[in-house]
């Protein structure tokens, strides 16, 4: 569905390469997590897929087509995009925010209205209650639901997500992650998710691509990542969830012991 | 109290004319400002290189005092009235609109821009759907600031020959008619507040998408525009049948009276007239040269020193003759003749001071001058006459104080200054118990009042015939009497003009 071949992005002098020689494939219906520390090039990689950033070299294709052959605006309207800042437009109502892309695509008014109600229901917001509100009246979790609805509005099957749940409190984050996981399986979405949260990557992704200093270090399923021993960076990354699991186990054990 | 309300009624009768003109200038300048500045500001946010030059230009325009900017437009555009006022006020309106629009757009949250791009908006769609709506409150705030400034500054367009609410203020200040000043200030303030509120209401209507409020704002704007401009437009219509003679006047009592006198005489002769009072001295002369003003009263010494750039002093007859020839040859301006009185600068002191220091002529001042303060109007200390008397009589005053002419008498009354440069026809010389010091060396040039006609008016035989009775008919005493009626007795200038008219016909 999405394929990157030897993609490099450098800024100014060729010495500062944000992304170096990345090749990746994302299959249809797959959720690929791009995992790494901040500044590792994961967001740059994501933004090259919908041409918010143009690569210095290499090719990217979406649905088998080289994206440089497509008009960037048309391309972006076909790809859902959700990011941490959400970017709901404060002067528009919730319904208007969701219907932006359908309107850009000149859908009929009735169809847009129907679609908006359908999407609000899909992300768990009561349409009659929320459609005429302004973003400022919503909680962080509700805003992000609207952000997801907006990205899905035109029926695109591909979603790019940049730290979408990063700014939410742990309970809301967990709830949204679960719901999103269900949603994307129902809709058979192909998703590229950028995150620095190892747990999020492990829980949501079909495959994880680990990046470090602009390079792709390893790609594999969550299971493969946990058992990968030969790459020191990846195994040090996985050390964090591992020790968290161990700590949790201990806590649970001790609690059980107390009952006995 | 009846006198007060009579005065107020008289002032309010002028309101449709002044307010209509004021509103027309203000709305035109603001519309032009918005039409030019919004696209420019948007271009500035797209092309960063433009930012510095555009905003600097607007800032510089803003730092020029309003009155100077207006006055500069007259020689630059070669005309007086509506056009220079419009251009100056337009330049004045630019900065808040430009700066707020640029700031508003460039401070739109970057995450909104990223979202807009990510959703697939084109650069144009981003501008109209995101950047402008999000920046709207800041843009509107700029337009509102501009509106208030322009309404206020438009009062100064009186000085370049465009009628405005400033006519109340200028003439009121000069003839000490406080009702007139207040009417002008209150009308301008109300106009500013009403326009400001209507713009605010439109903004609320847009952001809340409230059709009722939008309709209300539109209705308010229509009422203000039609109410303000209708009398004005009507006036234009009715006057088309007859040629309009434009009478000019500078900013002091005698000039207001004489322009009223000429207006009365020309109306009686069947002319349709238009009065442009409170104009700057050089602006008025320029306007006469190019025919925008048809006639006004000037003074031989003013033409001699300011326009002919002569610094020598000749007898009154020679000055008058040389000036008449120079005006005809150089500008085609006709000097119809001397009115009869002379309004020269004269040094005056309180009678008590004259007695104690034994002052009779300016020559007697020289030894006392280091202990005395002299006050005058804004221009005198930079005029050649001042250098002439200073050097001829060896004067070395402790301090020279410039102030509004109308305030000089209060200042000498309160002993804040010791010597004033009075105008010799000023009724207040007698009223304030002052004596004029003689000028034995004739250092001050003669200031015979003369009636000047524009090149076009000079061809108009009927006009000349109608104005001819003024020539040689008003002596110093008569003019002083008329001035006193206004300055001391607070009579309207028209009444003083009528008094002159009655005494001319002998």
Whether the Cβ atoms of residue B256 and residue B175 lie closer than 8 Å to each other: yes
Cα–Cα distance list, B485 to A111, B169, B480, B489, B496 (Å): 81, 20, 9, 5, 6
- Can you tell me the distance from the alpha carbon of B111 to that of B395, in angstroms, rounded to the nearest whole number? 73
Nearest to B111 among A50, A52, A87 (CB): A87
- Can you tell me the distance from the alpha carbon of A53 to that of A39, in angstroms, rounded to the nearest whole number? 15
Say yes or no to pLDDT of B240 above 60. Answer: no
ipTM of the complex in this document? 0.86
Q: What is the arithmetic mean of pLDDT over B470-482? A: 90
Q: What is the arithmetic mean of pLDDT over B110-125? A: 91
Give SS3 for B39.
helix
User: What pLDDT shows up at residue A13?
Assistant: 66
Reported as a pLDDT band with limits 50, 70 and 90, residue B290 is: confident
Q: What is the arithmetic mean of pLDDT over B225-229? A: 78
Say yes or no to pLDDT of B239 above 90. Answer: no
User: What pLDDT shows up at residue B99?
Assistant: 93
- Can you tell me the distance from the alpha carbon of B19 to that of B23, in angstroms, rounded to the nearest whole number? 6
State the average pLDDT for chain A: 89
User: What pLDDT shows up at residue A191?
Assistant: 95
Reported as a pLDDT band with limits 50, 70 and 90, residue A260 is: very low
User: What pLDDT shows up at residue B241?
Assistant: 45
Chain-centroid distance of CA B147 in Å reads: 20
Task: Give chain A's contact residues with B (Cβ, < 8 Å).
Answer: 50, 52, 73-78, 81, 83, 85-91, 100-101, 104, 150, 160
C-alpha R_g of chain B: 27
Domains defined for chain B, CATH in brackets: 2-233 (1.10.3720.10), 244-340+448-504 (3.40.190.10), 345-436 (3.40.190.120)
User: What pLDDT shows up at residue B238?
Assistant: 42
Whether the Cβ atoms of residue B143 and residue B151 lie closer than 8 Å to each other: no
Whether the Cβ atoms of residue B347 and residue B420 lie closer than 8 Å to each other: yes
Chain-centroid distance of CA A55 in Å reads: 20
User: What pLDDT shows up at residue A227?
Assistant: 83
pLDDT of B145-188, one tens digit each? 999 999 999 999 988 888 899 989 988 887 777 888 999 999 99
- Can you tell me the distance from the alpha carbon of B259 to that of B246, in angstroms, rounded to the nearest whole number? 10
Please state, for a pLDDT cut of 90, what percent of chain B lies above it.
Answer: 44
- Can you tell me the distance from the alpha carbon of B145 to that of B164, in angstroms, rounded to the nearest whole number? 20
B340: CB partners within 8 A, 6+ apart: B449, B471, B472, B473, B474, B475
Mutate which: B118, B122, B136, B140, vs A, most A CBs within 10 A: B118
User: What pLDDT shows up at residue B244?
Assistant: 83
Q: Which of A65-69, A196-200, B62-66, B226-230 has the lowest mean pLDDT?
A: B226-230
Which chain A residue shows the shortest CA-CA distance from B208?
Answer: A91
Residue of B320, B310, B365, B312 whose CA lies nearest to B342:
B320
Which helix (H) or strand (E) covers residue B58, if one does?
helix B51-63
Which chain B residue shows the shortest CA-CA distance from A160?
Answer: B118
User: What pLDDT shows up at residue B234?
Assistant: 52
Q: What is the arithmetic mean of pLDDT over A94-118? A: 93
Chain-centroid distance of CA B176 in Å reads: 16
Mutate which: A70, A83, A89, A161, vs B, most B CBs within 10 A: A89
Reported as a pLDDT band with limits 50, 70 and 90, residue B96 is: very high
Interface contact flag, B120 A101, Cβ < 8 Å? yes
Say yes or no to pLDDT of A256 above 60. Answer: no
User: What pLDDT shows up at residue B136?
Assistant: 93
Cα–Cα distance list, B49 to B41, B45, B53, B494 (Å): 12, 9, 8, 58
CA–CA min distance B126, chain A (Å): 11
pLDDT of A238-251, one tens digit each? 888 888 888 888 88
Reported as a pLDDT band with limits 50, 70 and 90, residue A93 is: very high
B129: chain A residues, CB-CB within 8 Å: 89, 100
Say yes or no to pLDDT of B237 above 70. Answer: no
B138 at interface of A, judged by CB pairs closer than 8 A:
no
User: What pLDDT shows up at residue A102?
Assistant: 93
Domains defined for chain A, CATH in brackets: 2-259 (3.40.50.300)
Q: What is the residue whose two structure tokens read 């749940």?
A: A165
Whether the Cβ atoms of residue A111 and residue A119 lie closer than 8 Å to each other: no
Do the bridges between strand B399-402 and strand B373-376 make them parallel or antiparallel, or are there none, so unpaired?
parallel
Q: What is the residue whose two structure tokens read 């509700």?
A: A142
Interface contact flag, B118 A81, Cβ < 8 Å? yes
Say yes or no to pLDDT of B261 above 60. Answer: yes
pLDDT of B293-315, one tens digit each? 999 999 998 898 888 988 787 88
Residue of B441, B405, B431 whose CA lies nearest to B420:
B405
B108 at interface of A, judged by CB pairs closer than 8 A:
no
Interface contact flag, B115 A88, Cβ < 8 Å? yes
> Which range in B61-70, B191-200, B431-440 is most confidently predicted, on average pLDDT?
B191-200
User: What pLDDT shows up at residue B4?
Assistant: 61
State the average pLDDT for chain B: 88
CA–CA min distance B215, chain A (Å): 21
B373: CB partners within 8 A, 6+ apart: B397, B398, B399, B400, B401, B416, B417, B418, B419
Interface contact flag, A81 B125, Cβ < 8 Å? no
A100: chain B residues, CB-CB within 8 Å: 119, 121, 129
Interface contact flag, B207 A91, Cβ < 8 Å? yes
Whether the Cβ atoms of residue B94 and residue B81 lie closer than 8 Å to each other: no
The DSSP line for B313-377 is: ---HHHHHHHHHHHHHHHH--EEEEEEEEE--EEEEEEHHHHHHHT--BGGGGTTTGGG-EEEE-
Q: What is the arithmetic mean of pLDDT over B206-215? A: 84
Residue B49 per-residue DSSP state = G
Residue of A32, A161, A189 whose CA lies nearest to B118:
A161
Beta-bridge partner residues of B342:
B448
Do the bridges between strand B334-342 and strand B448-453 make them parallel or antiparallel, or are there none, so unpaired?
antiparallel
Q: What is the residue whose two structure tokens read 């950028």?
A: A194
Say yes or no to pLDDT of A71 above 90. Answer: yes
Say yes or no to pLDDT of A98 above 90. Answer: yes
Reported as a pLDDT band with limits 50, 70 and 90, residue B214 is: confident
Nearest to B118 among A76, A78, A104 (CB): A76
Q: What is the arithmetic mean of pLDDT over B333-358? A: 91
């Amino acid at each position: 569905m999405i394929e990157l071949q030897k993609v490099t992005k450098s800024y100014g002098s060729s010495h500062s390469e944000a992304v170096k020689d990345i090749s990746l494939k994302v299959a249809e219906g797959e959720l690929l997590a791009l995992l790494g520390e901040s500044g590792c090039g994961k967001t740059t990689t994501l933004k090259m897929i919908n041409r918010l950033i143009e690569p210095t070299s290499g090719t990217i294709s979406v649905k088998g087509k080289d994206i440089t052959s497509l008009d960037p605006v048309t391309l972006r309207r076909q790809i859902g995009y959700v990011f941490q800042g959400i970017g709901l437009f404060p002067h528009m109502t919730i319904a208007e925010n969701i219907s932006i892309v359908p309107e850009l695509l000149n859908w009929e008014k009735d169809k847009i209205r129907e679609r908006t109600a359908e999407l609000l229901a899909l992300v768990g917001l009561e349409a009659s209650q929320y459609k005429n509100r302004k973003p400022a009246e919503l909680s962080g979790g509700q805003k992000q639901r609207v952000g997801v609805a907006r990205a899905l509005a035109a029926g695109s099957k591909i979603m790019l997500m940049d730290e979408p749940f990063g700014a939410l409190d742990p309970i809301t984050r967990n709830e949204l992650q679960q719901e999103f996981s269900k949603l994307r399986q129902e809709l058979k979405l192909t998703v590229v998710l950028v995150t620095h949260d190892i747990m999020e990557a492990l829980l949501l992704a079909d495959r994880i691509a680990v990046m470090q200093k602009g390079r792709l270090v390893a790609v594999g399923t969550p299971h493969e990542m946990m058992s990968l021993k030969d790459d020191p960076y990846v195994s040090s990354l996985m050390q964090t969830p591992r020790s968290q699991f161990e700590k949790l186990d201990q806590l649970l054990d001790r609690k059980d012991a107390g009952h006995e | 109290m009846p006198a007060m309300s009579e005065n107020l009624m008289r002032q309010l009768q002028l309101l449709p004319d002044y307010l209509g003109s004021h509103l027309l200038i203000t709305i035109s300048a603001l519309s032009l400002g918005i039409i030019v500045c919004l696209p420019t500001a948007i271009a500035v946010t797209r092309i960063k290189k433009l930012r510095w030059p555009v905003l600097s230009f607007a800032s510089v325009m803003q730092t020029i005092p309003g009155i100077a900017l207006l006055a500069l437009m007259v020689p630059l555009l070669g005309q007086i009235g509506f056009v220079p006022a419009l251009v100056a006020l337009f330049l004045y309106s630019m900065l808040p609109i430009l700066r707020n629009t640029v700031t508003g757009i460039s401070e739109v949250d970057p995450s909104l821009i990223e979202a807009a791009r990510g959703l697939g908006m084109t650069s144009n769609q981003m501008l109209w759907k995101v950047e402008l709506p999000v920046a709207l409150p800041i843009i509107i705030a700029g337009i509102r600031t501009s509106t208030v400034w322009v309404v206020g500054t438009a009062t100064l367009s009186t000085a370049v020959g465009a009628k405005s609410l400033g006519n109340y203020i200028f003439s009121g200040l000069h003839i000490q008619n406080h009702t007139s000043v207040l009417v002008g200030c209150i009308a301008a303030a109300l106009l500013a507040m009403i326009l400001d509120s209507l713009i605010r209401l439109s903004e609320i209507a847009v952001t809340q998408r409230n059709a009722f409020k939008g309709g209300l704002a539109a209705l308010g704007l229509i009422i203000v525009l039609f109410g303000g401009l209708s009398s004005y437009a009507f006036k234009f219509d009715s006057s088309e049948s007859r040629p309009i003679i434009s009478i000019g006047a500078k900013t002091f009592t005698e000039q207001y009276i004489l322009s009223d006198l000429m207006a009365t005489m020309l109306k009686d002769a069947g002319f349709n007239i238009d009065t442009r009072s409170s104009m700057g001295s050089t602006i008025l002369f320029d306007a006469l040269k190019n025919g925008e003003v048809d006639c006004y009263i000037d003074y031989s010494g003013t033409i001699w020193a300011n326009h002919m750039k002569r610094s020598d002093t000749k007898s009154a007859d020679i000055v008058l003759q040389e000036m008449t020839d120079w005006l005809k040859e150089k500008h085609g301006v006709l000097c119809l003749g001397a009115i009869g009185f002379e309004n020269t600068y004269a040094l005056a002191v309180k009678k008590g001071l004259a007695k104690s220091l034994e002052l009779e002529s300016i020559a007697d001042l020289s030894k006392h001058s280091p202990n005395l303060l002299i006050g005058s109007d804004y221009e005198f200390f930079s005029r050649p006459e001042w250098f002439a008397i200073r050097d001829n009589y060896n004067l070395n005053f402790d301090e020279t104080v410039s102030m509004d002419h109308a305030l000089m008498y209060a200042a000498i009354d309160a002993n804040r200054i010791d010597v004033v440069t009075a105008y010799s026809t000023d009724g207040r010389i007698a009223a304030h118990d002052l004596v004029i010091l003689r000028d034995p060396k004739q250092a001050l040039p003669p200031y015979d009042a003369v009636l000047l006609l524009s090149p076009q008016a000079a061809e108009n035989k009927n006009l000349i015939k109608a104005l001819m009775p003024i020539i040689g008919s008003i002596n110093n005493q008569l003019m002083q009497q008329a001035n006193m009626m206004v300055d001391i007795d607070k009579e309207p200038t028209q009444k003083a003009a009528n008094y002159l008219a009655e005494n001319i016909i002998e």
